[in-house]
Each structure stands twice: as C-alpha cells, then as structure tokens.
C-alpha cells in the first residue's frame, strides 16, 4: 500500500443523506437510515463468546469503520430467475408502488437495524440489495444472485417474502472481482426472510471472498404456520467472517434446517452461529454444521436451540463436527440448549477431531496414496451436509471449492 493517506468519507448525516438522495429513496427509508446512524455509537459489537481469559473472536479491536468507504461501494450483480417470482434490485423495487409497500412492511421487521453496531452501520450505508417476492401458490424456479465486490466496502441488503403455499429456492454467491485491489475491505450483508403460511424457502449461500475481506453477515427468517425455511451456509473465503444464521419459528408446525459447511485455511478466522427460537407448538429444527480447518485457521461455532414456554411438542436437534487437519489450527465450539417447555425432545452433539487413522489405514491398504486418501476422507466428511443442498449448482460449486482447497 502507498503511504498516501486514504480519504474516508465520514460516517455521518451528510453521507447518509447523500446515499438516500442519490437513490431517490422514500422518506421512511431515509428516516430508518438516520435512526440507525444515530444509534451507532451507543450500540455494541455483535456478541462473541468469552471464557476465562479468552475472547473467541475479537471484534472490538477491529476497526470496521476505518475499512468503510461509503462512496466506494462498487459491485457487479447478476440475477437469474424465471418470471413467476419477482426478483428485482432493491432500489428498483422502491419505484413500484406495490413492492414499495411490501418492502416498507418488512424492512427491519425480522432483523432490528439496531440489533448491534454492525447491523446499524449496514442499515445506514447500504447501497445495493435484492427484493425477492413469491406470490401465493407459485412454485418458483431457482433464483440465483451473484454479488462480486470490487470496491473497498459493500453493504448489501436482501429481503425475501413468500405468500401462502409459495415455494422458492434461492442461491446467493459472493466473491471478489478479479481487478479489485488487494487492500483490506469490508463486506456486510443483512438478509431478512418472511416465510408465509405453508410456504417453502431454501436459502443457500456461498461466501467466497478473497482473503483480505472482513465479512459480517446476519441472516434471519420468521416462519408462519406450516412454513419451512432451510438455510445453507457455505463459507470458504474471507480473512475474517462473523456470520449469524437464525430462524424464529413463530407459526405452529413450522420447521427449519440450518446447514453449514466451512473450510478454513492459512490464517482465516470463521465465527459462525446458528440459532433457532421455538415460539409455537409442534415446531421442528435441525441444525447441522460440518467444517474443516487447516494451517493456522480458527473456527468458532455457537449453536443455540431456544425453546419458549409456549412451544409445546418441540423437536430440536443440533450436530456440529469439526475436522482439524493441522496442529496449528484451533476449533472452539459451544452448542447451547435453553429449554423452557418440558414437552420437548431436544439433543445436541459436537465433536472435534482429526482424520480417523483407521479409515486412512484402510484406504492405504487399498493402495491409495496417503494424500489422496486424506483428500477423499475430507471430501467424504462434507457429504452429509452437501446432501442437504437442493440447488445442484451450489452443491457443485461447494464441492469444487473444497476440492480446490485440498489440491
């Protein structure tokens, strides 16, 4: 990097007004941005786990604001969808009266913009996003969104709304442009999903930024009666990722799956949390995460299954497995159960270990060279997670990225 001082546009009212003005935003949105900005300094960073003498992810020491260039948010975005579902860039949606009403109704209703300092920052400064709306009884084809980040910082917002009996599978990919400078950059994404009665949403995501990116994302959905919301969370890239994926099971008999796969190497740091709140009767949750860490990479996993007082007849399961390929890597895990209703069947398990020596021995006995055998075992380790992915393209991409990382 040159010694020249970089100019940072201030994170202030003027900047926020300019972003809103340039996009001709409605008053209500401008007000939300300004509220978030005002709250910023009073808010804390997202919660991270602390044990005696250790902080699992140190966010407070990272100067996120210094990485932010509000007017250097350039990106390329591709959308692929059929015409049954409405998939439009965020600011285009605001030009359509019906869609604007829809956005106004849901914006900030699932993820409170003032939940923490980074969500507030994201709300104040976002310049791009997507609105996905699937009307009643529509079975939409796969929706694909690709975001390629070229600037220093990017704040992205995604809203998914599905009406009764609708169904949609969404695949979101983030990566870094080939021409992007290699200096440190910051990506922040918020995803809100409102899944209607008996609707079905699978939201898959593959994060593959370059390793100078600091990444903060928060995805949260709320389910109506009989609704199903499944998340697939793939993390391959970035220097540091702090990501939260969560479902609020608000409708009776609704279900969720949170499936995670990550593969960290070099000095990458992944902090992932999966959370589910059971708030109605007969709800089901299944949280499955598998990850591999190599070199000096570090992974932090927190899983929370929270069963409310009124969530009768709850089923809630959680599994997390981490494979350590290197002695310098580090894996921290904390699967939590918070149970306030006794009519619950809940369990969780977590394991950390290395490649099974007997498996390796068996394969070497079949004349497979050691390295090849190890690679096969790692690829095999991800199979139970990959099987959950419904979009072939996402599964293939993930497989390919895992394969590349091993070779």
Partner 1 sequence: MSSEENLQETDTEARFEFKKEQHSAFQSEKGLTEETIRLISEDKDEPDWMLERRLRALKQYKKMPMPTDWPGQPDLSELDVEEIVPYIRPDVETRGGAENWEDLPDEIQDTFEKLGIPEAEREALSGVGAQYESEVVYQNMQERWEEKGVVFCNMDEAVQEHEELVKQHFMTKCVPASDNKFAALHGAVWSGGSFVYIPEDVTVEMPVQAYFRMNSEGMGQFEHTLIIAEEGSEVHYIEGCSAPKYGTHNLHSGGVEVFVKEDAHVQYSTVQNWSKNTFNLNTKRAIVEENGTMEWVSGSMGSKATMLYPCSILKGRGATDNHITIAFAGEGQDIDTGAKVYHNAPDTKSTIESKSISKDGGRTNYRGLVHIADGAEDSSTSVECDALMFDNESTSDTMPYMEINESKVDVAHEATVGKIGDEDVFYLQSRGLDDDDAKQMIVAGFIEPITEELPIEYAVELNRLIELEMEGSLG
Token reading at 236: 């391959």
Among 343, 392, 396, 404, binds partner 1 (CB under 8 A): 343
Burial class (CB in 10 A: 0-12, 13-18, 19+), 43: middle
Residue 389's SS3 state is coil
Name 88's bridge partners.
Answer: 131
Euclidean distance between CA atoms 50 and 221, whole angstroms? 27
User: Three-state DSSP class for 89?
Assistant: strand
Q: How far is the CB of 56 from partner 1 (least distance, A)?
A: 8
Report, in Å, the least distance between residue 276 CB and partner 1.
Answer: 14
Q: Does 351 contact partner 1 by CB under 8 A? A: yes
Query: Which stretch in 124-132, 282-290, 330-338, 371-379 sits in contact with partner 1 by CB under 8 A?
Result: 330-338
With respect to partner 1, which residue has the nearer C-beta, 109 or 347? 347
CA distance 265 to 236: 9
Residue 217, Cβ density class (10 Å: 0-12 exposed, 13-18 middle, ≥19 buried): buried
Residue 21: CB minimum distance to partner 1, A:
42
Q: Considering only CA atoms, which of 277, 271, 144, 282 is closest in space to residue 221?
A: 277
In angstroms, rounded to a whole number, what is the distance separating the alpha carbons of residues 22 and 285?
A: 42
Query: Which of 327, 365, 366, 367: binder of partner 1 (CB under 8 A)?
Result: 327
Among 336, 360, 368, 375, binds partner 1 (CB under 8 A): 336
Rounded to whole angstroms, the Cα distance separating 289 from 291 reads: 7
**Computed over its alpha carbons, how large is the radius of gyration of the chain?**
21
Distance in Å, CB of 323 to partner 1, minimum: 9
**Cα distance between residue 278 and residue 304, in whole Å:** 11
Could you give the CA distance from residue 241 to residue 216 in angstroms, rounded to a whole number?
A: 6
Question: What gap in Å lies between CA 364 and CA 358, rounded to an integer?
Answer: 10
Question: Does residue number 332 form part of the binding site for partner 1 (CB under 8 A)?
Answer: yes
Residues 365-394 that bind partner 1 (CB under 8 A): none
Question: Shortest gap between Cβ of 239 and partner 1 (angstroms)?
Answer: 20
358 forms part of the interface with partner 1 (CB under 8 A): no
Q: How many chain residues touch partner 1 (CB under 8 A)?
A: 39
- The reply on whether position 55 binds partner 1 by CB under 8 A is no
Shortest CB 229 distance to partner 1, Å: 23
SS3 385: helix
| Nearest-approach distance from CB 328 to partner 1, in angstroms | 8
**3-class SS of residue 253:** coil
- Of 329, 326, 260, 328, nearest in space to 298 by CA: 329
Residue 369 buriedness (CB in 10 A; 0-12 / 13-18 / 19+) = exposed
Where does residue 17 rank: exposed (0-12), middle (13-18), buried (19+ CB within 10 A)?
middle
340 sits near partner 1 (criterion: CB under 8 A): yes
Decide: is 315 part of the binding site for partner 1 (CB under 8 A).
Answer: no
Q: Tell me the β-bridge partners of 129.
A: 157
Q: Does 346 bind partner 1 (CB under 8 A)?
A: yes
d(CA 10, CA 186): 16
* Residue 405 interacting with partner 1 (CB under 8 A): no
User: Is residue 58 part of the contact set for partner 1 (CB under 8 A)?
Assistant: no
48 touches partner 1 (CB under 8 A): no
Using rule CB under 8 A, residue 339 touches partner 1 = yes
- Nearest distance, CB of residue 125 and partner 1, angstroms: 30
Nearest distance from C-beta of residue 338 to partner 1, angstroms: 5
Choosing from 52, 83, 178, 179, the residue that interacts with partner 1 (CB under 8 A) is 52
The reply on whether position 49 binds partner 1 by CB under 8 A is yes
Site membership for partner 1, residue 272 (CB under 8 A): no
Contact between 322 and partner 1 (CB under 8 A)? yes
Q: Which is nearer to partner 1, 76 or 345 (CB)?
A: 345
Which of 48, 350, 368, 377 contacts partner 1 by CB under 8 A? Answer: 350
335 is a contact residue toward partner 1 (CB under 8 A): yes
Q: What are phi and psi of 70, to 5 degrees?
A: -55, -30
- Nearest distance, CB of residue 292 and partner 1, angstroms: 11
**In the bound complex, what is the minimum distance in angstroms from residue 312's beta carbon to partner 1?**
8
> Given the rule CB under 8 A, which residues bind partner 1?
49, 51-52, 54, 56, 309, 312, 322, 324-354
């Amino acid at each position: 990097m040159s010694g020249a001082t970089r100019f940072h546009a201030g994170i202030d009212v003027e900047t926020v007004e300019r972003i809103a003005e340039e996009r001709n935003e409605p008053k209500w949105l401008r007000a939300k941005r300004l509220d978030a900005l005002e709250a910023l300094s009073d808010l804390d960073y997202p919660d991270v786990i602390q044990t005696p003498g250790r902080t699992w992810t140190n966010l407070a020491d990272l100067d996120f604001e210094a990485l932010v260039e509000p007017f250097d948010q350039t990106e390329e975005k591709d959308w692929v969808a059929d015409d049954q579902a409405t998939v439009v860039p965020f600011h285009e949606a605001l030009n359509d009266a019906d869609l604007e009403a829809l956005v106004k109704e849901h914006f900030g209703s699932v993820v409170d913009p003032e939940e923490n300092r980074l969500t507030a920052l994201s709300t104040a400064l976002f310049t791009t996003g997507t609105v996905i709306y699937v009307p009643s009884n529509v079975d939409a084809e796969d929706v694909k969104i690709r975001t390629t980040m070229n600037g220093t910082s990017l704040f992205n917002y995604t809203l998914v709304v599905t009406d009764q009996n609708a169904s949609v599978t969404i695949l979101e990919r983030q990566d870094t442009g080939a021409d992007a400078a290699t200096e440190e950059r910051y990506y922040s994404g918020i995803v809100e999903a409102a899944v209607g009665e008996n609707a079905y949403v699978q939201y898959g995501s593959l994060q593959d930024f370059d390793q100078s990116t600091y990444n903060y994302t928060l995805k949260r959905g709320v389910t109506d009666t009989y609704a199903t919301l499944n998340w697939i969370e793939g993390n391959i890239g970035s220097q540091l990722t702090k990501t939260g994926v969560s479902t609020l099971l608000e409708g009776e008999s609704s279900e969720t799956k949170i499936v995670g796969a990550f593969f960290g190497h070099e000095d990458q740091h992944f902090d992932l949390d999966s959370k589910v709140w059971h708030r109605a009767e007969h709800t089901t949750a299944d949280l499955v995460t598998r990850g591999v860490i190599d070199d000096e990479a570090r992974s932090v996993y927190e899983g929370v299954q929270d069963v409310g007082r009124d969530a009768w007849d709850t089923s809630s399961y959680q599994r997390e497995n981490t494979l350590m390929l290197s002695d310098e890597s580090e894996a921290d895990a904390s699967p939590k159960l918070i149970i306030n209703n006794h009519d619950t069947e809940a369990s969780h398990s977590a394991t950390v270990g290395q490649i099974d020596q007997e498996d390796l021995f068996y394969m070497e006995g079949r004349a497979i060279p050691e390295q090849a055998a190890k690679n096969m075992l790692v690829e095999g380790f991800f199979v139970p997670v990959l099987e959950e992915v419904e979009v072939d393209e996402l599964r293939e991409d993930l497989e390919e990225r895992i394969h590349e990382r091993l070779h």
